[in-house]
Amino acid sequence: MWLIVGLGNPGSKYLLTRHNVGFMAVDFMVKSLGVRNDDARSEHQARTINFKWENETVKLAKPETFMNLSGEAVGAITHFYKIPIEKIIIVHDELDLPFGQIRLKTKVAMEAITA
């Protein structure tokens, strides 16, 4: 199983802000892949939905907490489903980068969540 987490903040105040780019990315994946929103559910302080990709389950998650507490949801999902760090992708904004630029990291900070 893979876990893709989009970070953001709940509520209409943050809906279309750069801070919610993770939520927007998950919503885009759901729409692009034709995944049924009816299959989404709340679990481990997150809204999740599963789909199959090349015979492997992928869980998309949007934590229902504010961004600074999202580690609780990510940690709970990771532990419950025994998802290895190598199969976790976190999508979030990075205010230190110019708009439109991306950065990829591996195993950073996730060790604290799964330890």
Starting at the edge strand found earlier in the chain, the sheet holding 56-63 runs 41-43, 46-53, 56-63, 2-6, 88-91
The number of residues making up the chain comes to 115
Phi, psi (5° rounding) for residue 36? -80, 120
- E strand or H helix that includes residue 44: none
Catalytic residue (one of 19, 44, 79, 92):
19
Note if 92 is an active site residue.
no
Tell me which residues are annotated as active site: 19
